[in-house]
Amino acid sequence: DGRREALKEFCGLADVGYITRPDNEHAKAGNINHALKEISGEFVAIFDCDHLPTRSFLQFTMGSMLADSNMALVQTPHHFHSPDPFEKNFKIFRRIPNEEDLFYGLMMPGNDLWNAAFFCGSCAVLRRSALDEVGGIATETVTEDAHTALRMHRKRYNSAFIDVPMASGLATESLSAHVGQRIRWARGMVQIFRTDNPLLGRGLKMAQRLSYTSAMVHFLNGLPRLIFLLAPLVFLFFSINLFNKAAGLVLAYALPHLFHATITSSRIQRKFRHSFWAEVYETVLATYILLPTTLALINPKLGKFNVTSKGGLVKQDFFDTKIARPYVIFFLLNLIGIVVGIWRVTLGRTPIDALAINLGWAFYNLVILGAAVAVAYEARQRRRVTRVDLNVPISILSPTGVTVRGQTVDLSRGGTLVEFGAEPALKSGEPIHISFFLGDEEAAVPGKVVYQKDKRVHIEFDELTLAQESAVVRTIYSRADAWMEWNADSKPDRPLRSWFEILWYGLISLPRIMLGRPRSDP
């Protein structure tokens, strides 16, 4: 879209085709449709610009295409090697599942069972003839990917989802960028629901209709979530009882259901989504997706495609007051509601059982809202290039001709942290050559020692040639097994522990965050 001359020159150096167009009409969908006119291949692999495929990507995906001439799409997971705002600001990266793990780890395999896996915009291979038959990438909505897949399914084409991460990208760094991205998704899916409703029209099986509908109406959770956050205040402020039954009967009915639902969800989701975190995610988005989804239901032509910015820096910790304003308001309302409720207890004029239910409800909201407020405290991000935890063997050649072997702890395009079996004889500032091993291939890059502590050495790479940078990138991102074991150490959900973690982030650490004090893990 930018028609950048520097990028065109880089593509020439890297022997990569570069296609541009005179306008930006239909954004990403327009880019792809224009490019399709310039190329003739029957199969098209599509990646967002921040995604890097592994070398085995086509080996995994093309088998389904070649075996089934009716296969129009093979989708793979969107894997992220950098933390999203929740993981970064709460320091839970790779300890608690990413927000999207539930979708790619559980829901998409379920869709695949019913031949309803849909295109997610990146990390996928599509059949050119199927794209041509549906008129190319859909341009009527801002979620062109899912809409295109829906059209192909209406034409009785098949799709597949391969549950192996074979590409990696950057997660949104800031909460504001994260919310902006989700607003686009929410608006686009509701646009499809209005203009090309999967429950209506020909070509889909019932399971496909339900799978698509579930993905679309999910984004209508904004209003129910806001009602849930405000409901106990109706009683606490105005003594209006929401339940037309005795409080004991309400508890007898509701508590077993809530307990059963929580345990069942935990058993099903296990390592893909820990209990109560969905409440935080939905609360963060509720006020922001309500208006776009409502307008999309009324007039699906409203709204425009917005590109999600990635790869930026956060120079210092700061509290994003603008994005957090709705959460702060709801937090204060529930806090005031609890104070009023306790005051009414002292007066003795309100039924204690009904008051207890609504106080407990408001306290639950307070915990969830506290976490939503806390995540708006953006942690500093000083590195422009993400360091990836990675253990690969390397060797270092010192100026004296001595070679020492070690293993990386983490690695980026700018440098690496290396651990050795014994303390190496290296000095700060000393120029060295680092060799990476890709199978039988060895690639050497120049660098220097930044500093050393015991058996660990921090190394910064010098300016690299294109071939050297390519070797580093392939080592980090493009090995066939690069992301296979990424979640190997993830632990299954434990609802009680998960609740206390959110309690910590939502209430206990909130005052420290607001005062600008360092946070610590629960």
Residue 57, CA distances (Å) to 61, 103, 264, 347 in order:
6, 20, 35, 68
Residue 28: is it exposed, middle or buried by C-beta count within 10 angstroms (0-12/13-18/19+)? Answer: buried
Q: At what angle do helices 206-217 and 175-195 cross, to 10 degrees?
A: 140
Residue 49 and residue 11 in contact, taking contact as beta carbons nearer than 8 Å: no
Q: Is 489 a catalytic residue?
A: no
What is the sign, positive or negative, of the torsion defined by CA atoms of 32, 34, 39, 42? positive
Q: What is the dihedral of CA 288, 290, 293, 299, to 10 degrees?
A: -110
The DSSP bridge pattern shows strands 124-127 and 158-161 to be unpaired
Q: Which two tokens stand for residue 23?
A: 């306008």
End-to-end Cα, the chain, rounded Å: 44
Cα distance between residue 53 and residue 46, in whole Å: 10
Contacts of 220 (CB under 8 A, 6+ apart): 190, 293
Question: How is the chain split among helix, strand and coil, in percent rounded to 5?
Answer: 45, 15, 40
Find the catalytic residue in 84, 112, 145, 196: 145
Q: Which of 1, 132, 353, 462 is catalytic?
A: 1
Residue type, 143: T
3-state DSSP call for residue 422?
A: coil
Q: What is the largest CA-CA distance in the chain?
A: 86
Rounded Cα gap, residues 177 and 323, in angstroms: 10
Cα separation, 59 vs 172, in Å, equals 29
Question: At residue 474, what are phi and psi to the nearest 5 degrees?
Answer: -65, -35
Using the structure block, give the residue that is written with the tokens 């060797």.
Answer: 395
Task: Select from 392, 407, 396 the least CA-distant residue to 474.
Answer: 392
196 is known as an active-site residue: no
Catalytic residues: 1, 145
